[in-house]
Homo-oligomer: A and B are copies of this chain.
Amino acid sequence: MPKEGVSIQVIRRLPRYYRYLSELESQGVEKISSNKLAAVMNSTASQIRQDLNCFGGFGQQGYGYAVAGLREEIGRILGLDRTHNMILIGAGNLGRAIATHLNFEQLGFHLTAIFEKDERLIGTMLRGVRVMTDDAIEDYVKKNDVDTAVLAMPKDAVSKMIDKLYSCGIRSYWNFSHYDIAKVYDDVIVENVHLSDSLMTLCYRINEKNTDT
């Protein structure tokens, strides 16, 4: 179990450990030293030891880390062994990409329903789930155990949708819009994915490099 007050920076590195360890395991690697793990991950051995010590440390002096065991333990810390039911709001290009691109089941989530306001998309299938009308959200959430909503819709549409989702009891959001949910409700968990911010940062770094040379 994590010690009290593990920083969000450390938490945010755990998925990366999980990814690399999964890959090492699939390559048949059984144990690895912190030095070798650091080399694989483009990190430092001291960073790795420090991060993993936040959760009690898993390495054995002179042996290194047991890959499968460490992967499983990090998965447990992340909570990937439990499953949260999730609904997707928006079945346009972005919603479709999210629904089809990710292995939710391996990431702690189960996509149970998809909602969309564009009538042409209602009734179509995505990842084996039928797309339903937006009007059915409240009813669906009341009858089913849902704790997370993925918001794949424009900012303006989210501002209208969020009150409905909140009043249905949904407190966890994976938000692809620029709408600032945490500013409106303070008892929610929000992970924002701001694709345009990432692209603007890339733009800055290209220009900075060009100026250097």
Contacts and interface: CB of A to CB of B under 8 A. Distances in A.
A204 B208 CA distance: 35
Contact of A107 (B19, B102, B180, B199): B199
A202 B148 contact: yes
A15 B204 CA distance: 10
A98 to B, nearest CB: 8
Interface stretch (A62-70, A115-123, A187-195): A187-195
Contacts of A107: 196, 199-200, 203
Contact of A201 (B2, B96, B191, B202): B191
Interface string A65-98: 0000000000001111010100000000110111
A191 B180 contact: no
A102 B12 contact: no
A202 B8 CA distance: 11
A197 interface: yes
Interface in A111-150: 147-148
A84 B108 CA distance: 38
A15 B201 contact: yes
A98 B148 CA distance: 23
Given A14-B204, A97-B96, A202-B148, A178 B109 contact: no
A16 interface: yes
A101 interface: yes
A209 interface: yes
Nearest to A2: B208
B15 A194 contact: yes
A200 B93 contact: no
A206 B84 contact: yes
A104 B196 CA distance: 8
B15 A196 contact: yes
Interface string A142-176: 00000110000000000000000000000110100
